[in-house]
Amino acid sequence: MKLNRFGINLDEGIPLNENSLEKLYVNCFDDTVSQITDWIKDNETKKQLLFGGQIGAGKSTLMAKIFSDNSLKPNSLKPDITLKFDREGLNLDEGDFLSIILVEFVKRAIGHELNLSFSKLPSEVFGLADEDWQGILNVLCSNIFSLKALENKISARKLITKHADYIIEVISKIGKILESHKKSPLFIFASGLDKYDPQKHTFKLSLGNSIRILSKYKTLYEVNAVHLFLPDNTSPFFSGSRKIFIQTMSSRDMMEVLEKRMGIYAEPIKEELELIAEWSGGNPRQAIRLLVHYQAARKNKKLDKAGRLAIAIKRSTDDFFAFARKPSTDLIKTVSKDHNIQTSLFYLAGDKETALGSLYGNWIFITRDSADSSWPVIINPLSKPFFESDKILSEEPEQKLLLKYAEANEMSPTGLSFDMLVNDTPGKSADELLQDFFSMGFEEPLPLNITEVFEVISAALLSKDRKDRILIGYKDKNILDAARAYLFAKANSYEYQRFEHLVLQGGKDKEPIIKLEEALNLDTDIISLDFTGQFNENQQEALDKYRDNLIDYQMLWWISLEDLREYLPNWVQLRELFEVFILEDELLVSLSIEDIESDLAFFEDLVESEESAEYSMVTNLKIVLEYLKQNRGNDNG
């Protein structure tokens, strides 16, 4: 994201980096920062630390803040080695994860010019010269992208899987050499483990040896909250590891997050920001997504403030929960009644629909650390509509705001009906609007036609400074070319943007991650991917864990509605950085042949070169026009 110094800075809630920390970071976890900092500074301990929190809670941002602290000795808090387990996976097998560790250990040893002659690994496994450790790096993490380099990396990782026991011994020996050179415990930051569902094959089997290797060092693991609850007999983490939990944000801190994101434009919508903070459930990524959709809804002049908030809630719910696996009603009843959950509920075997799954999928939020075996929890406000028919939910966050209103006006809340906002135009109240949306059913996203979709995503497509990712589900494959052409034409309304449309195929003997890597290395502004074939479970999981590699790219993914129903439940992490849309069958019903012909005549006179916004607009409008004529004959709509 390109920072706007005084104005609005919005994205999908991606982790802040060193460039954005100063402007956008909010100090709200001082105690957590202090605990982690003290652990890092303790050069005597080799005890591991599990730093856990739910998806979007701010773990990566908090670690970036800690590692960027220059108030002490320069770089004193930075890890010796950082392992990115969520960015380097191709097949999510043991060879993938061992290669990540091997590369970083060898890289540090070479950087300090340490003697690695104890092993002939380069020649024994990789067919290189005996001492060619740099050659291993060249194969496993080449700086030059090419199909040949990618094939070499895949082959090398397969060799690592084949010789896993020997690779583990070599890594352990290099670790001892590094610690001997440092003369203090080797500090390792294992990031990205929070992306792995503990109930999936990848975490249970493929990651096991890698985690056990790191247990020999002073390792800080970035994990999901669910990993903190794993019983010792099933957890790959050392049983004596220290655990630190990042809780949800307070409403006051969340307001500061939102105000910083809006800059000088925060004050006019302060009341709306307070409501967004409540609907966030204390999760910063959820708050920012709500704000993104609220800002997009403001472009619709027909909506009042309540309507815009209702749209933001519905769109955010689509993004995070459409087609997701719904928790059991019994669990939600328990949470709603008691506002806490017992640790024992997270230990249930085969628990795919209750406590662990609900926590991993953000259906519930843990609001504070536990003093005993009971954890304070709330139901995610965005997930409430899924359980409305069960009549089991409390009134939060509505009731909380109602009480504030009553208190401010020195009146009793008894008998009051909740109205989220005073409407600025006549019509339905916010409550009625939301109820309309809720009654539509939240099991799948609200279908939109092409003009409605464009209204929502135009801010992304019309600017090279934005790096948004959009997932579009469709029912009618016949309209895809015209739909894409229309969006690409509009994307070139104000500035020339290059786009590449590719096919990403799943299924047996297919390598979708390799094709995706090829796409990411194209010299283009917008990457459009058409998903074909049947992606198997491993391929779906690999895409889910590949999420953070996509942060710097502007993308459109096109997936049939039938396949989307299957994939989204397995893309718990991936969907966090995507906006989800479903197109109606009558996609282009609102466009007329006459209007397209008029636009064509206008832009054709402005074309000066093939590499111009006008030329791209004309090319794509011709595709749309041809589609309309074929489907409507000579009727002008």
Task: Check whether 98 has a pLDDT greater than 60.
Answer: yes
- Which two tokens mark 68? 């960027």
Q: Which two tokens stand for residue 572?
A: 């718990």
Which secondary structure element, helix H or strand E, spans residue 557, and what is its range? Answer: strand 554-560
Band (pLDDT 50/70/90 cuts) for residue 601 is confident
pLDDT at 471 over 50: yes
Flag whether pLDDT at 460 surpasses 80. Answer: no
Same fold, 30-80+186-246 and 447-636: yes
Q: Is the pLDDT of residue 372 over 80?
A: no
SS3 per-residue string spanning 401-426: HHHHHHHHCCCCCCCCCCCCCCCCCC
Please tell me the distance from the alpha carbon of residue 96 to that of residue 15, in angstroms, as a whole number. Answer: 24
Nearest CA-CA partner of 11 in 543, 550, 518: 550
CA torsion through residues 258, 262, 266, 271, sign? negative
Q: Is the pLDDT of residue 433 over 70?
A: no
pLDDT at residue 582, rounded to an integer:
76
In the chain, % of residues over pLDDT 70: 80
Summarised one tens digit per residue, pLDDT across range 378-402 is 999 888 777 765 554 444 454 444 4
| Closest to 398 in 3D by CA, of 418, 370, 382 | 418
Mean pLDDT of 449-464: 53
The closest alpha carbon to 324, from 580, 88, 68, belongs to 580
Which H or E run contains 382? none
Domain ranges within the chain, ordered by starting residue: 1-9+249-343+359-443, 30-80+186-246, 88-185, 447-636
pTM of the model: 0.80
pLDDT at 395: 47
> How far is it, in rounded angstroms, from Cα 504 to Cα 366?
38
What secondary structure does DSSP assign to 315-335, as a single string? Answer: HHHHHHHTTPPPPPHHHHHHH
Per CATH, the number for 447-636 is: 3.40.50.300
**Could you tell me if 470 and 581 are in contact, meaning their C-beta atoms sit under 8 angstroms apart?**
yes
Task: Tell me the per-residue pLDDT of 149-205, one tens digit each, with 9 for 90 and over.
Answer: 888 888 999 999 999 999 999 999 999 999 999 998 999 999 999 998 887 777 877
The pLDDT of residue 633 is 57
pLDDT at 75: 52
Q: Span 30-80+186-246: which CATH code?
A: 3.40.50.300
Q: How far is CA 439 from the centre of its chain?
A: 28
In 3D space, the residue among 518, 516, 572, 515 whose CA is nearest the CA of residue 541 turns out to be 572
Q: What is the overall mean pLDDT for the chain? A: 81
Longest Cα–Cα distance in the chain: 82
Give the alpha-carbon dihedral of 99, 102, 108, 113, to 10 degrees.
-120
| pLDDT tens, position by position, 325-345 | 888 888 888 888 888 888 777
CA–CA separation, 153 and 514 (whole Å): 11
Contact assessment for residue 189 and residue 63, using Cβ atoms and an 8 Å cutoff: yes
